[in-house]
Amino acid sequence: YFSSNNFGADAFTVELGKVKPFGENNMADFEQVKSTLTRLISGQDLALAPYNEADFNIFEIDQTINKETEAFVLNFADDVENFTDYPIGYVLATDGVIEHKVRTQGEAIIFPNANVAIGQRALLTVKPTSID
């Protein structure tokens, strides 16, 4: 995110599964990812199916919401999953008198964390896009 935001570098996040405490993920579930990345990094040929955008959910960052005061509160449960969307106008967070609302249809939350230090990112929102 930093390199993309500050220097215009291409960046992406791949959602691979559920966030679990360190050591509790079944690494066998990621063997194909590991194998493909190893082949890519080492310059080996990849046997990939032709790209079909319909096979993927592609998003771009819409809002970066930083915690500016100790009054910052997220207005949804702590266990809400990444990519949960809310209707336009829904107040995602408040920070004192500031309300952070959903602005676009399909806008969804990712990486919420109200417990960050003041000035740090507490929430990102994303919206559907294409890579065409």
Which sequence positions are flagged as catalytic?
A: 15
CA distance 63 to 4: 14
61 within 8 A of 83, measured Cβ to Cβ: no
Helix (H) or strand (E) holding 5: helix 2-7
> Alpha-carbon Rg of the chain, whole angstroms?
18
Residue 95 structure tokens? 């920070």
